[in-house]
Amino acid sequence: MTIMAHKTTKEDFDLFVSVSKKEIKRLGLTDWKIWHQHDIDTKFKEACALCVTSYEDKQAAIQLNTVWEEKPTKDAIRYYAIHETLELLLADFSYHAENRQTSPDELNAARHALIQRLINASY
């Protein structure tokens, strides 16, 4: 069986960036240096989108892959923009949870920073 490849367009990418930037602002993720990319990631080519972070540098790339197995829809583009932005929201917590040298105080601080961002986004 042949899998059909569908390409995302500049219009898709513009929507992806617009939705992502809106969520970045709403969630208060403005302390991160963020790039949006429209590219194929050969390591994660089956992913529609991804978020790659460098926690120590507070830098992130939020990427829309150029090739999807399914035909891209506006709803799917919006979904992935929000999904990848939420991956960034969890970056602090994920970093500390994965780091075996993280102290309970550091994990608690990351958890409370996430809670505060969600509270700020609610008002």
pLDDT, residue 3, reads 59
Predicted local distance difference test score (pLDDT) of residue 54: 94
Q: Are 85 and 60 in contact (CB under 8 A)?
A: no
CB under 8 Å to 33, separation ≥6 — which residues? 57, 58, 59, 60
pTM for the model: 0.83
Question: DSSP characters for 48-112?
Answer: SEEEEEETTTTEEEEEE-SEESSPP-HHHHHHHHHHHHHHHHTHHHHHHHH-TT--HHHHHHHHH
pLDDT in tens, the chain (123 residues): 455 689 999 999 999 999 999 999 999 999 999 999 998 766 777 889 999 999 889 999 999 999 999 999 999 999 999 999 999 999 988 888 888 888 888 888 888 888 888 888 876
Mean pLDDT in the chain?
89
**pLDDT number for residue 10:** 97
According to the model, what pLDDT value does residue 1 have? Answer: 47
What is the model's pLDDT at position 27?
A: 92
Residue 114 in contact with residue 92, Cβ under 8 Å?
yes
Q: List strand residue ranges (DSSP E) for the chain, in order.
A: 6-7, 33-38, 49-54, 59-64, 67-68
Helix/strand/coil for 9: coil
